[in-house]
């Protein structure tokens, strides 16, 4: 039977370690400010969870809620003010933004040293160049989870299904930094099933409920499921058919309780890291 890679348990370990490190800090507490625009119910839930997690580890947390009609220049002015505010170490603009706002423009306005999402082009460059920087939370959490379980990565064939800027692409860069041989597959990939079946490490982030079945998975592979889908019967499932796949793989992340809880834990890690580098300057 496969090893269950519980992100829920590991996120607790990460948060306990952060609480400890916060309690030992001299001077300023880490401070995160989240900007949320409009009334997207899922975004509201995520932002509330981020705020709660900050408070629990002893960070300062601030949420700026803006109406959906806010202009791009109004958001930019707020970001500029936060960039200049020494008590703010992390700035996160919750996505998606309304259509009249350019996500790329806002991402590029955040000071790279406060960009705890790792979405600024400077941080993307640092990630691919193998430099120090702030990198996207979900992929960072996944690599850390694999290390926590002593899963060897160097020299392994890693296949990432999905090429988003939030998960797929940064996941590829991070696994390359771990010396994996990395392939990124996507909706136009020919022979996807065959590609999946050749992977030692399979990371799936496509948003298609239970798409990956056991005959898509190499026996003994490590399977990471970033999906979060609501099945027609109401059950929350990943992109991997867990019951089908878990008997053939060596390790697998469940849904829920796998990758999901790591995103916020690593947002906290990024905020802590941003605070330390800003104060070291
Ligand atoms: N919306 C969904 N996921 C994310 C994320 O990782 N960061 C931000 N800022 N918004 C999101």
Question: What is the rounded CA–CA span in Å between residue 219 and residue 205?
Answer: 20
Tell me whether the omega of the peptide bond preceding residue 96 falls within 30 degrees of 0, making it cis: yes
The two tokens of residue 213 are: 């079945």
Q: What is the DSSP string of 21-63?
A: HHHT--SPPPEEEEEEES--HHHHHHHHHHHHHHHHHT-EEEE
Closest residue by CA, ligand 1 atom 4: 95
The two tokens of residue 168 are: 């797929």
Domains of the chain: 26-111 (3.40.50.10860), 137-260 (3.40.50.720)
User: Exposure pattern of 104-122 as b/e (b: 16+ CB <10 Å)?
Assistant: eebbebbbbbbbbbbbbeb
Ligand 1 pocket test, pick from 32, 36, 46, 266 with the greatest ligand atom count within 8 Å of Cβ, gives 46
Which helix (H) or strand (E) segment holds residue 82: the answer is helix 72-84
Helix, coil or strand: residue 230: strand
Residue 223 and residue 240 in contact, taking contact as beta carbons nearer than 8 Å: yes
Tell me the pLDDT of the chain (281 aa) as tens digits.
899 999 999 999 999 999 999 999 999 999 999 999 999 999 999 999 999 999 999 999 999 999 999 999 999 999 999 999 999 999 999 999 999 999 999 999 999 999 999 999 999 999 999 999 999 999 999 999 999 999 999 999 999 999 999 999 999 999 999 999 999 999 999 999 999 999 999 999 999 999 999 999 999 999 999 999 999 999 999 999 999 999 999 999 999 999 999 999 999 999 999 999 999 96
Residue 235 annotated as catalytic: no
Output the pTM of the full model.
0.97
Of the candidates 134, 120, 203, 199, which has an alpha carbon nearest to the alpha carbon of residue 165? 120
**Which one of the listed residues 115, 117, 225, 239 is annotated catalytic?**
117
Residue 273 annotated as catalytic: no
């Amino acid at each position: 039977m496969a090893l269950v890679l519980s992100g829920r348990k590991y996120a607790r370990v990460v948060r306990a370690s952060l609480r400890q490190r916060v309690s030992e800090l001299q001077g300023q507490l880490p401070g995160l400010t989240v900007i949320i625009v409009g009334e997207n119910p899922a975004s509201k839930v995520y932002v509330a969870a981020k705020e709660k997690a900050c408070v629990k580890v002893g960070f300062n947390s601030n949420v700026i809620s803006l109406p959906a009609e806010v202009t791009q220049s109004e958001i930019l002015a707020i970001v500029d003010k936060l960039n200049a505010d020494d008590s703010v170490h992390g700035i996160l603009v919750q996505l998606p933004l309304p259509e009249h706002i350019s996500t790329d423009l806002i991402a590029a306005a955040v000071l790279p040293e406060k960009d705890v999402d790792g979405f600024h082009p400077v941080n993307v460059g640092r990630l691919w160049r193998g430099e120090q920087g702030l990198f996207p939370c979900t992929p960072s959490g996944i690599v850390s989870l694999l290390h926590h379980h002593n899963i060897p990565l160097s020299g392994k064939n890693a296949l990432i299904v999905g090429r988003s800027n939030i998960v797929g692409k940064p996941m590829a860069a991070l696994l390359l930094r771990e010396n994996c041989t990395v392939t990124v597959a996507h909706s136009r990939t020919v022979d996807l099933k065959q590609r999946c079946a050749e992977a030692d490490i399979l990371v799936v982030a496509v948003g298609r409920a239970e798409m990956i079945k056991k005959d898509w998975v190499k026996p003994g592979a490590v399977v990471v499921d970033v999906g979060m889908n609501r099945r027609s019967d109401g059950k929350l499932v990943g992109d991997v058919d867990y019951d089908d796949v878990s008997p053939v793989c060596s390790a697998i992340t469940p849904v829920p309780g796998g990758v999901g809880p790591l995103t916020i834990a690593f947002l906290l890690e990024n905020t802590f890291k941003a605070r330390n580098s800003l104060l070291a300057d």
